[in-house]
A and B are shown apart, each in its own frame.
With several copies, the nearest count.
Chain A
Amino acid sequence: MKRLAWATVPLALGSALAAGGPDTGSTAWMLASTALVLLMTPALAFFYGGLVGQKNVLNTMMMSFAVLAFGGVAWVLLGYSLAFAPGTAYIGGLAYALAHGFMEKGKLLVDGGLPVIVNLGFQGTFAIITAALISGALVGRMRFSAWLVFSTLWILFVYAPIAHWVWGGGLLSKALDFAGGTVVHINAATAGLVGALVLGARREFGRVAFLPHNIPFVLLGAGLLWFGWFGFNAGSALAANESAALAFVNTMFAPAMTAVVWILLDYLKNGKATAVGAATAVVVGLVAITPAAGWVGPLGALWIGALAAFPSYYFLLVRPKLGLDDSLDVFGAHGLGGITGAILTGVFAAAAWNGGTAGGLEGNWAQVGYQVLAVLVVMAYSAVGTLVLLFVTRAFVPLRVAGRDEAVGLDAALHGEEAYPTTEGAILVAEEGGAA
């Protein structure tokens, strides 16, 4: 929805512009937002890294950092073009590949008040975090080289097309998705689910308790994710305007509400408010408000935040009992949170707040239908695309590590490092081989 605005909607906003120059205020906000969204991937590395056991910390974190590297390069070379260049309704063309399309008459192109090249960066951070999110379903058993291949292909052939449908002028432009509830969260969660099923559970699943090794890291990740999410949601207004302000405020209060409900559910169940639960709730709330951020008012945001707690809370409790090793609950948090948010966006969209688009509560129940349709289409394509890419990857390199490596831990086995090395018994190896 919104990214269409990029090329076609005139700047309805304040600042008088000298002919051709960017709106410095909106440019400032979009640069800040891009930095914020980029930070979300290291933040995710900590959120996920804290949740795994000590022998898989670095591997888990590297799955995110690697997407910053490989995914970033793939994006600038090809992905951006497949998503945003003029093309068919199904996929963009190649006009923007290799960083073309940002200049005109020897000057950087400005459109909608922004240097167009900002979009390359801003959209790139979305592609990166989306692929990184998938890794939470696969930790502890996936071969790192397979992840490099798969995640890069996935950005090009699953993420980019879906982004094109929703934001690039494609198929799904009737669904409301302010900042990427379907494109990012439902998409990543579906891919994670499929990946977890294809890979199979970790060998010790169900026999050994997988406990987080560092919950402060989980809280650090959640805090930094929240911080970065302001760029994600309020930056999706593509300007420093009223819509950005509304999206910002909703991004602040909706997850607060989710955490309130989650803590109360925890009290009801165990009499204990867990920290892992609170961190999870913040993420679920952020996911749920993502499609709605600029479409609903603050009270609508509180409702979405509150309602989003329930499906995720209960699914997380039963998930391990289903035998499903979606290791860090990508589907429970991002999938269910995203679906709840996408549908409720259709319910709570408030014409007064967003400048004209009504939702179900204001009589436009058809919108809920568009929302459900978008969810189903994205899930279907994501599932099939992920499956195909996993098989393609497997043609080159096995997806899973050897059983022995899984037992030793992926940090030592795949990266030749430990997260917290100790010097005891570490014997320096001289060049010749030397030593005992």
Chain B
Amino acid sequence: MKLIVAIVRPEKLNDVLEALFKAEVRGLTITRVLGHGGGTERVETYRGTTVKMGLYDKVKLEIGVSEPFVKPTIEAILSSARTGEVGDGKIFVLPVEKVIRIRTGEEDEAAVTPVKPGGE
């Protein structure tokens, strides 16, 4: 089991979601974050107060996957999130010791295998 953490541009999120969907990745969690990287800064002025905004809106995806899904997931993200300009983001692959589905108590592989829709 791995946790794939990807930071992407917000305007690319829908493309990424679609690519993941095609790669049969179903479950994931998304967080609005602010990224700081190699890019240039933006200046904003509010009356006499001038500030540099060094942080940019980004979106973080966290995707728990079993081993066979690691590669396809990464590839789906790489292909859909890339613009080629500074600020495209990063992917981190973290080891996971255990995954549990709260609803059923199922663990690991079973926990990340999607169920038939019908709920929420």
Report which of B10, B44, B47, B49 forms a contact with A424, defined as CB distance below 8 A.
B10
In the assembled complex, the Cα of A75 lies from the Cα of B14 at a distance in Å of 46
For B13, the chain A residues whose CB sits under 8 A away are 424-425
B46 A211 Cβ-Cβ under 8 A = yes
Q: Quote the shortest CB–CB distance from A427 to chain B (angstroms).
A: 5
| Interface flag for B96 (CB, 8 Å) | no
B46 A421 Cβ-Cβ under 8 A = yes
| Interface flag for B11 (CB, 8 Å) | yes
In the assembled complex, the Cα of A54 lies from the Cα of B54 at a distance in Å of 19
- Measured CB to CB, the nearest residue on chain B to A215 is B46
| Interface flag for A436 (CB, 8 Å) | yes
- Measured CB to CB, the nearest residue on chain B to A329 is B47
Q: Quote the shortest CB–CB distance from A426 to chain B (angstroms).
A: 4
| Interface flag for A8 (CB, 8 Å) | no
The stretch of A112-120, A273-281, A387-395 that contacts the partner chain: A273-281
A424 B52 Cβ-Cβ under 8 A = no
For A425, the chain B residues whose CB sits under 8 A away are 13-14, 17, 30, 34, 36, 53-55
Q: Which of A301-327 contact B (CB under 8 A)?
A: 316-321
For B11, the chain A residues whose CB sits under 8 A away are 204, 208, 407
A209 B51 Cβ-Cβ under 8 A = yes
In the assembled complex, the Cα of A421 lies from the Cα of B32 at a distance in Å of 14
| Interface flag for A362 (CB, 8 Å) | no
A416 B30 Cβ-Cβ under 8 A = no
Report which of A270, A272, A319 forms a contact with B48, defined as CB distance below 8 A.
A319
In the assembled complex, the Cα of A319 lies from the Cα of B46 at a distance in Å of 13
- Measured CB to CB, the nearest residue on chain B to A411 is B44
| Interface flag for B106 (CB, 8 Å) | no
Q: Given that A208-B11, A280-B47, A321-B48 are known contacts, is A424 also in contact with B34, CB under 8 Å in the complex?
A: yes
Report which of A318, A407, A417, A435 forms a contact with B45, defined as CB distance below 8 A.
A417
- Measured CB to CB, the nearest residue on chain B to A207 is B14
| Interface flag for A86 (CB, 8 Å) | no
Binary contact readout B51-81 vs A (1 if CB under 8 angstroms, 0 otherwise): 1111100010000000000000000000000
- Give the size category of A's interface with B: 20 to 34
- Measured CB to CB, the nearest residue on chain B to A321 is B48
Q: Given that A424-B30, A425-B34, A425-B36 are known contacts, is A417 also in contact with B54, CB under 8 Å in the complex?
A: no
A416 B17 Cβ-Cβ under 8 A = no
Q: Given that A208-B14, A436-B18, A436-B21 are known contacts, is A428 also in contact with B45, CB under 8 Å in the complex?
A: no
For A276, the chain B residues whose CB sits under 8 A away are 46-47
For B104, the chain A residues whose CB sits under 8 A away are none
Report which of B14, B30, B46, B48 forms a contact with A427, defined as CB distance below 8 A.
B14
A320 B49 Cβ-Cβ under 8 A = yes
| Interface flag for A212 (CB, 8 Å) | yes
In the assembled complex, the Cα of A423 lies from the Cα of B13 at a distance in Å of 10
In the assembled complex, the Cα of A319 lies from the Cα of B48 at a distance in Å of 7
In the assembled complex, the Cα of A319 lies from the Cα of B116 at a distance in Å of 36
Most chain B CB neighbours (cut-off 10 Å) among A204, A276, A317, A416:
A416
| Interface flag for B98 (CB, 8 Å) | no
For B17, the chain A residues whose CB sits under 8 A away are 425, 427, 436
| Interface flag for A267 (CB, 8 Å) | no
B45 A274 Cβ-Cβ under 8 A = yes
A320 B48 Cβ-Cβ under 8 A = yes
Report which of B32, B47, B55, B59 forms a contact with A277, defined as CB distance below 8 A.
B47
B34 A426 Cβ-Cβ under 8 A = no
- Measured CB to CB, the nearest residue on chain B to A319 is B48
- Measured CB to CB, the nearest residue on chain B to A275 is B46
Report which of B10, B44, B59 forms a contact with A417, defined as CB distance below 8 A.
B44
A418 B44 Cβ-Cβ under 8 A = yes
Binary contact readout B31-45 vs A (1 if CB under 8 angstroms, 0 otherwise): 010101000001111
Most chain A CB neighbours (cut-off 10 Å) among B10, B13, B18, B45:
B45
In the assembled complex, the Cα of A107 lies from the Cα of B43 at a distance in Å of 53
- Measured CB to CB, the nearest residue on chain B to A328 is B47
Q: Quote the shortest CB–CB distance from B35 to chain A (angstroms).
A: 10
In the assembled complex, the Cα of A417 lies from the Cα of B50 at a distance in Å of 10
A412 B51 Cβ-Cβ under 8 A = no
Most chain A CB neighbours (cut-off 10 Å) among B13, B30, B36, B46:
B46
For A320, the chain B residues whose CB sits under 8 A away are 48-49
- Measured CB to CB, the nearest residue on chain A to B35 is A425
CB pairs A–B below 8 angstroms (21 shown): A204-B11, A208-B11, A212-B46, A277-B47, A280-B47, A320-B49, A329-B47, A416-B43, A416-B45, A417-B46, A418-B44, A423-B10, A424-B10, A424-B13, A424-B30, A425-B17, A425-B54, A426-B51, A427-B52, A427-B53, A428-B49
Not counting A416-B45, A427-B54, A428-B51, a sample of 17 additional A-B residue pairs whose C-beta atoms are within 8 angstroms of each other reads A204-B11, A209-B51, A280-B47, A407-B11, A412-B44, A416-B44, A417-B44, A423-B10, A424-B13, A425-B30, A425-B36, A425-B54, A426-B14, A427-B17, A428-B50, A429-B50, A435-B52
Binding site for B on A (CB under 8 A): 204, 208-212, 270, 272, 274, 276-277, 280, 316-321, 329, 407, 412, 416-418, 421, 423-429, 435-436
- Listed from nearest, the 3 A-B pairs whose CB atoms lie closest are A425-B55, A426-B51, A429-B50
